[in-house]
Amino acid sequence: MNAPLKILLVGDVMLGRQVNERLRQESPEYPWGDTLPLFLEADWRACNLECVLSDHGVPWGRSPKAYHLRTDAINLAALRAAHIDAVSLANNHSLDFNYRGMVEMLKLLGNGAIASSGLGGHLEAASQCAVSLVKGLRIGFLAFTDNEPTWEAGDEHPGVFYVPVDKPDHRTARLLKQVAQAKAQVDFLIVSAHWGGNWGCFPPPSHTRLAHDLARAGASVIFGHSPHVSRGIEVFDGALILYSTGDFIDDYAVDPIEHNDRSWAFELRLEHNRIRSLHLHPIEIAACQARRAEHAVSLNMIESMQELCRPFGTISTPSTNPPGLVIDIPQNSNNHRRSHEPVAPPIPIPLPL
């Protein structure tokens, strides 16, 4: 029997500020720590790149912006060290250093053979689905965000693929149409959603509604990020919904309650173009580096994730050596929860990075 194809997804990868300083002293492998083997063992890997990869551009100043995140162009090597195949650029930092920074980043990624989605010189480019061929499987990657509406790409100007989530409109309909069209052209479609605010361990009802609509339109995986914490996981109509994959690499201040220094590496195992199981590897962030969580922390994270998954009816099994979680994906599954029913109230905790 052939080995399953492995796809590895991780949340926000922020290589700027103190991480950038570390990379000026350390090897490109440094930010990945002892999680690097997970990337090297996977067949395809993706993350949300939460900074501008560029040596040029001035900080965005056309609208209020508290943080401007950039990493040196040479740090493309850090992405390549982990064999990253695709990055989401539909987020609230991809234009932090204006259009010059954007253009340089897109060029660097292209030259480095790293696919991207969610940002471009006009709307058609920003909303393009990137396609990778892996062991005969066509993997589609389509990214959008509801952050930074002033960065919305237009027919004749650059920006991000912006889609409102809380108040759906014609742009939401466009996204769903593009998902259906992309699904017709690929075998496996990942829709990357940089949505909502920074905090809260429960997805708001608007996220659940759109996630279900994306699944119905043809998404195999909804790959959520933006919150600095991980959220529960749902299986809906055979699609996997990762409401928030949290942070993976950063230098952020740590909230002792929400624990934004704890996240997961999400390893999907596919057979015959379908997800058979999801393996969750507990991760801690320390010293600007992702690391496998210590045993006691892992056990705590496993219990917390099981609690977050329970409202969705998602059943997970703890694994050992090292500790983690496994979610088996039943085929043609649907938990039949009404898409307008909230799973839990959101918990907004507006803390600084």
Q: How does pLDDT run across 132-142, given as a tens digit for each residue?
A: 999 999 999 99
Domain region containing 105: 5-328
Residue 291 pLDDT: 98
Tens of pLDDT, residues 51-78:
999 999 999 998 889 899 999 999 999 9
Residue 2 pLDDT: 77
Q: Does residue 203 lie in a domain region?
A: yes
pTM over cut 0.85: yes
Q: Does residue 344 lie in a domain region?
A: no
Q: Does residue 63 lie in a domain region?
A: yes
Per-residue pLDDT, averaged over 21-29, amounts to 98
* Percent of the chain whose predicted confidence (pLDDT) is above 90: 87
Q: Does residue 170 lie in a domain region?
A: yes
Q: Does residue 111 lie in a domain region?
A: yes
Residue 128 pLDDT: 96
Tens of pLDDT, residues 91-115:
999 999 999 999 999 999 999 999 9
User: Residue 120: which CATH number?
Assistant: 3.60.21.10
8 Å CB contact between 229 and 348: no
Residue 1 pLDDT: 54
Q: Does residue 336 lie in a domain region?
A: no
Q: Does residue 335 lie in a domain region?
A: no
Name the average pLDDT for the chain: 92
Per-residue pLDDT, averaged over 238-259, amounts to 95
Q: Does residue 337 lie in a domain region?
A: no
Statement: residue 40 has pLDDT above 70? yes
Tally of domains within the chain: 1
